[in-house]
Amino acid sequence: MSAVEKLPSMYELSQEWREVLDALEASQGEVTDELQQRLQELEARTIQKIDGCGWVLTRLAGEAAMFTERATVLRQKATARVQAADRLKQRLADFLQSRDLTSIKGEEFQVSLRHSEAVVVECPTGALPVDYLTIPEPVPNKPELKRALKAGETIPGVRLESRPYVVLR
């Protein structure tokens, strides 16, 4: 197979395997020289495809890890910038308040003090009336459900399901 020749898709390989298995069934299990050659070629192309998929999966996993790491670094930088901006705003507010000013104007910008309202809760959350609490929706504890099901418990509306997944080694 030349470097320019494209490998068949997994779907195409599956189709070829079906055709070879149908031919084997039609010959009542007799492996002719032609069928043997088709099997060997198909096996070689399948191995190439599996290796190609392995390399793609390895690269994608590496890129995902790199992007995840980069996103973490960018989040940290963004957090640092927000904190720096908050500190600078606080210094400006302190400056204005220490001089009994509500605003000060530069050549390009004007800094003003504004007031907002904020609710300050000084009591324990449990002491507040329930009308003033936000209670999150309950979510299933899947690890605990799995443990119970594996231990033989029956839980209405819950079942243990086996799902296939790909492992790359």
Nearest CA to 168 out of 59, 17, 85, 22 is that of 59
Integer Cα distance of 94 and 111 in angstroms: 12
Count of other CB atoms within 10 angstroms of residue 151: 7
Q: How far apart are CA 75 and CA 125, in angstroms?
A: 31
pLDDT band for position 2 (cuts 50, 70, 90): low
Per domain, the residue ranges of the chain are 10-130
The token duo for 127 is: 């002491």
Sequence-distant (6+) residues with CB within 8 A of 10 are 49, 53
Question: 1 pLDDT exceeds 60?
Answer: no
pTM of the model: 0.62
Over the stretch 101-121, which tens digit does the pLDDT of each residue have? 999 999 999 999 998 999 999
- Cβ–Cβ under 8 Å, residues 143 and 158: no
Region of 28 (left: φ > 0; alpha: ψ -120 to 50; beta: rest) is left
